[in-house]
Structure 1
Amino acid sequence: MTRLSVEMLAADAPPPITSAGHAQLGIAVLAGIAVIVLLITKFKLHAFLSLTIGSLVLGAIAGAPLDKAITSFTTGLGSTVAGVGVLIALGAILGKLLADSGGADQLVDTILAKAGGRAMPWAMVLIASVVGLPLFFEIGIVLLIPVVLMVAKRGNYSLMRIGIPALAGLSVMHGLIPPHPGPLVAIDAVKANLGVTLALGILVAIPSVIIAGPLFSKVASRWVDVPAPDRMIPQRASDELERRPSFGATLATVLLPVVLMLAKALVDIVIDDPANLTQRVFDVIGSPLIALLAAVIVGMFTLGRPAGFSKDRLTSTVEKGLMPIAGIMLIVGAGGGFKQTLIDCGVGQMILDISKDWSISAVLLAWLIAVVIRLATGSATVATVSAAGLVAPLAADMSTTHSALLVLAIGAGSLFFSHVNDAGFWLVKEYFGLNVGQTIKTWSLMETILSVVAGALVLVLSLII
């Protein structure tokens, strides 16, 4: 970013709500993040409350009037929920339809029937990536754990040889690929193009998940050679159903929003004329709201009807899909409030002023910031929304491609080294029957490899595109 572009950005931006200098703002940012980290890790306070309190502490130390700090927080919360809240809700509904109708089981059973021997870890990556596309990470784990345990037991595989690829597939979707909450919030904060981010995210995700999944699982299975634990395997959704959707219909439904969003991105590149009717049509059908809404409506027929769902059952499924996301929505919204408080206090401009003479890449800076917050808070979503707020001003004069890569750098950093302050760490430990050391040598290291490889690929792409 040139000095001229920074000055133009400063002239266009609204005046900050505080007159604090760089030193005071820097202290305010560190104090705000420290409060968030302390409340989440030490006092086990919900991330929504922690982000809210941290935002107010940031504003107070920066010298902002309390009423203006509150306005900044609530404005950011409202705009974030308005921007991505509906998308998160639609993704949750689609995921619940997929799980309850037996569509997820159909995908799993069909792929496993075609795979065996050395191909099994690769099949697990494929299963987790497809099934995990519309699902939140924790829900994906619960859904896939029975499959992982059954495959490991029946095929006499090391649990890590099967489990690590499945976890890698879920995690890469969570960190890099919309419509997951983290990437959506980062896209909204950075004002990146969703279709381009999705396309580049898939490009980065494929080699990253191969290295962190099937390849690393060979090493992990030697380090931690444990069988599937003797425990009761939960009943699958389709065990209670007389029928379930076909493989083709299920796969088409899951991939429909991705296809529509990628088609929009492709048409935008090929035609590049906002007045063109074709481009205008694809701009509508390829928007994330319409793409996900279309998938949900189609899913009611392709997933719900074959499973024999009545209208009441469909309504119940939609309601149950929405209930678990309240906490996620609040965390994402509060993250947006924290981001807006950072911006309104002038922190974004401070970062521009300080970093304009640095030789460090904006992409690398975004990755590093996300890594630090991830290590401190344990939450990939908190790391993503906080880092996005800090580096969003850097994207002001970036190209469409580079702003998308900035989002992916943040997402990659947010996956770095899951440890004891991350709920996902304990989920993996308990489901797989591991001790803390074994979980670190497998799950935590897998997350780190995924983060570093994806971050490196994003950095390389930023240099050559």
Structure 2
Amino acid sequence: MLLTTFTIDPHSLFLLVSALAAVIGLILLIAVFKLNPFITLLLASLGLAMVTGMQPSTIIHSFEAGVGATLGHIAVVVALGTMLGKMMAESGGADQIAYTLIRLFGEKRVHWAMVIIGLVVGLPAFFEVGFVLLIPIAYTVARRTKTSLIMVGLPMVAGLSVVHGLVPPHPAALLAVTIYKADVGRTIFYALLVGLPTAVIAGPIYAKFIAPRIQLPTENSISAQFVDHGSERSLPGFWLTVFSILLPVLLMLIGSWADAIATPKSALNEALHLAGNDDMALLIGVLVSFFTLGRLRGFTRETILRFSNECLAPTATITLLVGAGGGFGRILQDSGVSQAIIGVALQSHIPLLLLAWLLAALMRLATGSATVAMTTAAGIVAPIALHSTGVRPELLAIATGAGSLIFSHVNDGGFWLVKEYFNMSVAQTIETWSICETIISVTALLLTLALSLAL
């Protein structure tokens, strides 16, 4: 019966085929021809715009508008989040968290400690940043406990990945929250309900299954470059470090509850909303970390300035990719592709949460970037959500994030980070990291669907 009522006009079909060709072109140019992902997204956007008949005079303007609209918000979050992560690493705060949790869990349950480390440390930092900050800890823990690096490291990256894709204040999650007009505080709460069991399944449980089946080389040249940060007595206090890391998240939660705490439009209410804004919350968190993880650790103003300057360079590629993803999404909208997808989606009666997950998954497989996948899919699904009822925008943001994490492969920078630092082959990386990401994606979707039925 569904087939007899489902129709699609030739022009919409042409637009969808053109978009599919653009996605295939993205995959080929990135994975096969090894072209820079930013240039690839730009070329795919221009090619799609020309094929679908956009006016030449509007193509570049459309792409630039998409880039600007995306980066206007994201660039601030990227910069501040990276600075906070840098202070945590340089102060030894991340090491303190690791050592404390190892004492609490014991060496035999160290994989449970590592997933918690990934979840906590990943909150203010991009996946790539958090990975680079924490991999020395993984080496240290594996060395001290004589445990497989996969048993230690896979739960850590699972924790990092979960908060990267599902939990604000990560830029992609925050942008999805903005696009869907969701509440930040409720999104964080629901994302943690979904993310914690997801991280457990994809991290410690899967690591315990796969680690005995993967034989790593005995020598790891990258691991040999890292030594222990120092004795635990030289590290900052555990609770002071945790406070510094979680302060922005706490401020965002308070901001989302401002109307319940103070009379709307009052001075206190406005101040709480301002402090709870994601940019302001991260700014406050960074400034506090300059004192708690900087001055209290004996760093001079000049040293803190150097830390905050040098950590920005590695984020340039991430920022450009986010912007290019926004430009590609704008071309999808202005060329009519998004409307064609909306038309098909409304006719096919795919549940909205599943549609958000599916579109993000397709973009993730095409571009290799969870952030690009999430922002692009959210931009496509949001207009459909305006015509739909019964779906919480917070759950839409989480489902989109879940789809954006599926099956990391050779066009994803995170794939190569894990491969090289863990000293694995491509096949071993797929067996461990790629499958771990897929478990996260599918489990988070199932839990989000279950949560939608319970709410």
Aligned residue in 2 for 1:203: 193
What is the identity, as a one-letter code, of the residue corresponding to 2:249?
V
Question: 1:265 is matched by which residue type in structure 2?
Answer: S
Residue of structure 2 equivalent to 1:260: 251
The letter of the residue matching 2:399 is A
Deviation at residue 141 of structure 1 after TM alignment: 2.1
- CA distance in 1 between partners of 2:72 and 2:143 (Å): 45
Indicate which of 240, 243, 250 corresponds to 2:241: 250
Give the unaligned 5+ runs of structure 2: 1-9
User: Which residue matches 1:8?
Assistant: none
* CA 88–458 in structure 1, closer or farther in 2 if over 3 Å, else same: same
* Deviates most, 51-60 or 399-408: 399-408
User: 1:200-349 maps to which residues of 2 (within 5 A)?
Assistant: 200-224=190-214, 226=216, 229-231=219-221, 232-235=223-226, 238-239=229-230, 243-268=234-259, 270=260, 274-349=264-339
Contact 1:47 1:331 in 2 (8 A): yes
- SS for the counterpart of 1:417 is coil
Does 1:99 find its partner at 2:89?
yes
Aligned-partner Cα distance in 1 for 2:11–2:249: 45
Where do 1:91-240 residues align within 5 Å? 91-224=81-214, 226=216, 229-231=219-221, 232-235=223-226, 238-239=229-230
Deviation at 1:165, TM superposition (A): 1.0
Aligned to 1:16: none
2:48 aligns to what?
Answer: 58
What TM-score, normalized to structure 1?
Answer: 0.89
- Kindly provide the amino acid, as one letter, of the partner of residue 262 in structure 1: L
Paired with 1:143 and 1:362, the residues of 2 have a C-alpha distance of 37
Distance 1:348 1:277, change over 3 A: farther
- 1:30 aligned onto 2:30: no
**Contact kept in structure 1, 2:67 and 2:324, CA below 8 Å:** yes
**Cα separation, partners in 2 of 1:53 and 1:187, compared to 1, 3 Å:** farther
SS of the counterpart of 2:350?
coil
Q: Is the 8 A contact 1:415 1:450 kept in 2?
A: yes
Gapped runs of 5+ residues in structure 1? 1-19
Choose the corresponding residue for 1:396, options 386, 405, 408. Answer: 386
Cα distance per residue 1:343-395 (max 9 Å; x no partner): 22233332332222333111101111222222233222232233223222123
Matches of 1:295 and 1:187, distance apart in 2? 21
Cα 1:157/1:239, change in 2 over 3 Å: closer
Question: How far apart in 2 are the matches of 1:271 and 1:400?
Answer: 27
Tell me, in whole angstroms, the C-alpha distance in 2 between the residues paired with 1:53 and 1:230: 38
Deviation at 1:50, TM superposition (A): 1.4
Alpha-carbon displacement from aligned partner over 1:126-174 (angstroms, at most 9, x marks no partner): 1111122222222222222222223223222233322221111111122
Deviation of 1:271 (Å): 6.4
RMSD of aligned alpha carbons: 2.6
From the superposition, tell whether residues 361 and 276 of structure 1 become closer, same or farther in structure 2 (CA, over 3 Å).
farther
**Distance in 2 between residues matched to 1:328 and 1:112, nearest whole Å:** 32
* Structure 1 SS opposite 2:392: helix
Q: Is the 8 A contact 2:63 2:330 kept in 1?
A: yes
Letter in 2 for 1:176: L
Matched, 1:385 2:375: yes
For residues 200 and 160 of structure 1, the distance between their equivalents in structure 2, rounded to whole angstroms, comes to 29
Q: Which amino acid aligns with 2:246?
A: L
